[in-house]
Structure 1
Amino acid sequence: MMNNATVATVLVLLYAGLGFATNQRKRAKLPRVGRAGPFGYAWTVLRSVLDSDGLVEEGWAKYGGKPFVLPSMSGEWIVLGPDDIEQLRRSDDTVFNAPERAKALFLPNTMFGNHLTDHPYHLETIIRSDLTKSLHSLVPEMHEEAQLAIPDHIPIISGQTSATIPLFSTMVHLIARVSNRAMIGAPGCRDEKFLQYQVSVAEEVIPMSQILNWFPAALRPVVWKLFCVTLGAKDRAVKLIGPYVKARIDYAQQDNPSTIVDLLLRYAPEEEIKNLPMLAARVVHLNMAATHTSGIFTTHALFELARLPPEQVEMVRTEIAAAIASEGGVLNKTAVGKFYLLDSLLKEIGRFHSLFAVGSSRVTLKEAVISDGTVLPPGSVVALAPKPMHNNPKTYSDPETFDPFRFTKLRTGAGTAADIQQSFTTLSNDYIVFGIGKHGCPGRFFAALKIKVVLAELLLNYDFSFPEGASHAPKPFSFNIFTVPNPTAKLVFTKRQRF
């Protein structure tokens, strides 16, 4: 009698075999990465769950950076090469559509409700425009919260000078608290029960969206509901954030906003104002986006700082201290704008530590032709591959080496357009961490400021090192197309004496 693992394997093989047969009929005439034949297709699909990165690198090397097909449990991705980036960047969504692909990939309608995508003002208006204009007032608030939160998250026992902590989970929780100082304000940002569930949402929703894509569309709401009832944190987070959102509604300070929720209330339709769970779900969704990726960057940054020679870490500290001193001792947006070394470190992390195997994906709404003349049928999913693109020696010298000051070295110091091009948040066809074109990540400016505020406070107050005997290059964890830092790796924080 077959055990559960055998049954699961057979079902996956049947699923993949069906995908192989179906996709042979409608796929563009492009080579496919992985083993040949139906069973090879099934094996490649299975491998993609935990090694999409490896498959993408294999396909890139085999086909010389030309388009190829990447099979996965949620369907086929057409991985495009450098010759196709400009076409995607210029896309106006009539052929290569980003919003529809995002809905299909992350399933916000299933997980949070149709109102998020029917009227996406929290992304299209708030994050792209109003929030960016309000960042100057939010930086001091986030800095104050970082100063209060960091000792809570790095508890050093009396009589000792250091603490060893699991880095990734700690940074995600710390980022969640600092983010929520901007999102809902104090004291809500210090509600540990809410923060716990909000972090769980960030940890659950992205992998669950990938798993849900393994199921037929009709079953996804049922599977998601069962997950929420048994393990899910989304409904609990929505319930717990509700009173804080209601407090912002009662405060009604849209004309002089002090939180991101105040900005939301400028545009929230009356039905959402009256239906608190709908508005709260939107805030939880926005919170999720503001937490997870920022936690990943912060974690990688601290690992890299722990690996750097002390004199290089001191260079970063000195620049941070000088920038703050130039603003009268206040860590504000202008001061953060002078953290050039830290900015370069973060951009190099984005280049070197890929967050996903494929990204900037689009779905073709009608027949499309790519650079090599291949005709893509409607419904084709196309994407770019950050890791091999960011390791291109034609673009980056010595790309296999992590150089924290790579982009600082390219600055002239004159504040020219060439200098701006080296910034962490600047979009380009050679640096696609935040996407390309008009669909570049709208929250990247907020995320960058928040990460820099937290890292600056940590750098000025702690030294970083690896526990004795621990790996200095902890292996990250990959699932489907996404990669996160090693969840078990620890770092030692030693309190510095500041004079």
Structure 2
Amino acid sequence: MFGDITTNPYHLETIIRSDLTKALRSLVPELLEEAQLAIHNHLKIPDSKDSVTITVFPTIVHLDSQVTNRAMIGAPGCRNEKFLKKQVSVAEEVIPMSQVLNWFPAFLRPAVWKLFCVTVGAKDGAVRLVIPYIQSRIDHAQQDNPSTITDLLLRYAPPEDLKEVAKLAARVVHLNMAAIHTSGIFTTHALFELARMAPEQVEEIRTEILAAIDSEGGVCNKAAVGKFYKLDSLLKEIGRFHSLFSVGSSRVTLREAVIADGTVLPEGSVVAFAPKPLHHNPQVYHDPHTFDPFRFSKLRTGDNAVRDIQQSFTNLSNDYIVFGLGKHGCPGRFFAALKIKVILSELLLNYDVAFPKGASHSPKPFAFNIFTVPNPTAKLVFTKRK
């Protein structure tokens, strides 16, 4: 589907794992500016009212797409509505289809996939629409002083990709597919939880956000976002409590293996972890079936830097596998966490969030195969704060 991306994933191995993480500090002002603009556009409140009711998940996914692409391709491309809609459609169509393909025998999958692409074609449409912006980055390359992820991509692109811009565009679409929906899922869950939380708990998060920004001279920079401990804890608890998938971190045994209980795994066996039992283990998590937004921030004492880092949303451990494990851990998790916190902090400081009158406070999530996403039709009321 994406050409040689799987055989030569230079956009993941070097850019996302190393260069992007180093560039996060410079991206924060861009993300913040775009988040402010996107929130204003997606949460328009009529002059005659003080609140607006929105369908949360699709709205947040499109908002996140705009903010993501401010970092990915820059402005004004990140505001191209046609591209953003096509880009969002890629994951909505491709991820379920990848599961459907497993229902067919291997020899039929290429034909089924080709038929699907002909009838839907979201990826090709997204590639065509983003090409002009990629070409613009090539014409005004800033590899030495990158301002977008595409600038970083150009550092490592082989000559043939620079001559065929569609190949670079496909990688941008692929990166977008990985970056948008997971962030949208976490942000939506966070908004539902904030709507359920006691007002004084929400105010605790706001107070900490304002104090962190004030400590940086009134500027919301990367250092300030790094001090959003209660918001960070909320996000980590969401990952623990609301499983995004029923199994994950799949591996294939390259040779026969014997696990701790004596079970023999033949060569070629597929092994995966089940997050829910791990994340609800009472030997690791106190009262694991209760959602505690400050579960992890309460464990931060400030006395032990290593211990404090272990409580962070992006930390990998055998007891918390939202982002995978070891060297195969999600390379984009630092960017995702930063982006989600920037969006949520803007929403928290400017809006009160509540469920509509009479609506369920526990909207049923939607599950497909191994994936679970927040209820796609549930709504929230956003009221502009005085």
- Indicate the TM-score class for this superposition, using the shorter chain for normalisation: over 0.9
The residue that corresponds to 2:326 in the other structure is 437
User: For 1:379-418, what aligned pairs fall within 5 Å after superposition?
Assistant: 379-414=268-303, 416-418=305-307
Which residue is equivalent to 1:454? 343
Q: How does 1:328-343 map to 2 (within 5 A)?
A: 328-343=217-232
Cα shift at 1:340: 0.3
Question: 1:484: which partner in 2?
Answer: 373
Asked if 1:169 corresponds to 2:58, the answer is yes
Residue 325 of structure 1: CA displacement?
1.3
SS, match of residue 298 in structure 2: coil
Cα deviation 1:223-246 (Å, max 9, x = unaligned):
122112212311100100111111
Instruction: After superposition, give the CA deviation of every residue in 1:428-465 in whole Å (9 maximum; x if it has no partner).
Output: 11111111111011100000000000000000000000
**Match runs of 1:191-202 below 5 Å:** 191-202=80-91
Report how many aligned residue pairs link the two structures: 386
Q: CA deviation at 1:276?
A: 1.2
Q: Which moved more, 1:407-416 or 1:282-291?
A: 407-416
Give the match's secondary structure for 1:393. Answer: coil
Instruction: Tell me which moved more, 269-278 or 441-450.
Output: 269-278
| 1:366 aligned onto 2:255 | yes
What's the counterpart of residue 70 of structure 2? 181
2:49 to 127, 142, 160: 160
Q: For 1:193 and 1:219, how far apart are their aligned partners in 2?
A: 33
Q: Partner residue of 2:2?
A: 112
Structure 1 letter corresponding to 2:300: R
Output the amino acid matched with 2:2.
Answer: F
Q: Which residue of 2 aligns with 1:349?
A: 238
* SS of residue matched to 1:271: helix
Aligned match of 2:359? 470
1:40 corresponds in structure 2 to none
- For 1:396 and 1:232, the matched residues in 2 are separated by 44
Q: Find the aligned partners of 1:134 and 1:312 in 2 and give their Cα distance.
A: 33
| Match 1:295 to one of 180, 184, 190 | 184
CA distance in 2, matches of 1:464, 1:144: 22
Tell me how far apart the structure 1 counterparts of residues 139 and 259 of structure 2 sit (CA, whole Å).
52
Provide the C-alpha distance between the structure 2 equivalents of 1:350 and 1:333, rounded to a whole number of angstroms. 22
Say yes or no: does 1:250 pair with 2:135.
Answer: no
**Superposition RMSD in Å:** 0.9
Q: Percent identity?
A: 78
Q: CA deviation at 1:219?
A: 2.1
SS at match of 2:69: helix
Match in the other structure for 1:304: 193
Q: 1:237: which partner in 2? A: 126
Which among 300, 316, 340 is matched to residue 427 of structure 1? Answer: 316
CA deviation string 1:82-112 (max 9, x = no partner): xxxxxxxxxxxxxxxxxxxxxxxxxxxxx21
Residues 1:480 and 1:221: Cα distance change in structure 2 (over 3 Å): same
Q: Structure 1 residue runs of 4+, over 6 Å off?
A: none
Deviation for aligned residue 1:414:
3.0
Tell me the secondary structure at the aligned position of residue 213 of structure 1: helix
Deviation at 1:171, TM superposition (A): 0.6
1:221 is displaced (CA, Å) by: 2.3
Structure 1: how far apart are the matches of 2:359 and 2:225? Answer: 33
SS in 2 for 1:118: coil
Question: What are structure 2's unaligned runs of at least 5 residues?
Answer: none
Whether 2:161 is the aligned partner of 1:272: answer yes
- The Cα of 1:415 is off from its aligned counterpart by 5.1
Tell me the distance in 2 between the aligned counterparts of 1:268 and 1:178. 24
How far apart, CA to CA, are the structure 1 residues paired with 2:184 and 2:49? 27
Counterpart residue type for residue 313 of structure 2: F
Q: Which protein shows a greater Rg?
A: 1
Q: Match of 1:31?
A: none
Matches for 1:23-102 after TM superposition, within 5 Å = none
8 Å Cα contact 1:204/1:232 also seen in 2: no
SS of 2:299's partner is: coil
Q: Give the match's secondary structure for 1:423.
A: coil
Q: Distance in 2 between matches of 1:263 and 1:219?
A: 38
Aligned to 2:11: 122
How far did 1:216 drift? 2.2
Instruction: Give the corresponding residue for 1:224.
Output: 113
Q: Quick one: distance in 2 between partners of 1:252 and 1:410?
A: 45
SS in 1 for 2:255: coil
1:156-215 deviations in whole A, cap 9, x for unaligned?
111101111110001100110000000000000000000000011121121111111222
1:199–1:288 CA contact under 8 A, matched in 2:
yes
Q: TM-score, normalised by structure 1?
A: 0.76
Q: Distance in 2 between matches of 1:320 and 1:134?
A: 22
